[in-house]
Amino acid sequence: MAIKFRLTKLIPADFPLYFELVNNEAVMAMITERAILLDEAKSDFEKRMWENQLHPDFGHFKIVENASGNFIGVGKLEIETRHSDKAELGYMLLPDYWGKGIASDVAHQLIETARTHDFITKLFAIIDPKNIPSRKILINNGFVSKEFADFDGLPGEVLELTVRED
C-alpha cells in the first residue's frame, strides 16, 4: 500500500526537520556531495522562508506521512520572482522513505500544482547525472534532458517539462 502524505509550506518552526534532512550524508550525496553544517543550513533555510512568501502555491514544502505525522522530506516548486514563467521542481527524502514511490508522487503533485497557474510555462529540475532513480521519476513525469552543466563545481543534468506553450 502506498504511503499517503501531505505537503505543507515549511515554516520557521520546521528548521530542525530541515536540518535533519540536509545534514544527512546519504540524502545529500547526490545533491551537494556533503552534509550541510548548521550555519550554512540556517542561512539556506532563511532563503527558503523568503522564497515561500513569493506565492502561496510555490516554495518549499514539508512532506509528512498522513497516518503517523512522521517527517518524510522536503519538496520544492520554486520560483525566483512573483513574475517567473518557470519553476524548479525538486525533492529530498529521508533514506527510510526511498524506493516507496513517494518522490514520484510528490513530483506528480507539484507538477499538477504548476499546471493550475497560467504564468508557468516550464518546469525544470537539476539532478546529479548519476542519480538514476530521480532521472527515472522525472522522465516518467514527462521531463526531457536539456543539458549537462557544472553547478558550483558539481556535475548536473537539467531536465525540463513544458507545461504550456508561451
pLDDT at 97: 95
pLDDT, one tens digit for every residue, the chain (166 residues): 678 999 999 999 999 999 999 999 999 998 999 999 999 999 999 999 999 999 999 999 999 999 999 999 999 999 999 889 999 999 999 999 999 999 999 999 999 999 999 999 999 999 999 999 999 999 999 999 999 988 888 889 999 999 987 6
Task: Please state, in angstroms and rounded to a whole number, the distance separating the CA atoms of residues 66 and 46.
Answer: 27
Query: Regarding the domain delimited by 5-162, which CATH topology (the fold level of the hierarchy) does it fall under?
Result: Aminopeptidase (3.40.630)
Q: Which amino acid is at 100?
A: K
User: Where in the chain are the domains?
Assistant: 5-162
Q: Which residues contact 94 (CB under 8 A, 6 or more apart)?
A: 20, 21, 24, 27, 71, 72, 73
> In angstroms, rounded to a whole number, what is the distance separating the alpha carbons of residues 68 and 139?
31
Q: Within a 10 A sphere around the Cβ of 28, how many other Cβ atoms?
A: 16
pTM of the predicted structure, to 2 decimals: 0.94
pLDDT score recorded for residue 1: 61
Number of H helices, E strands in the chain: 5, 7
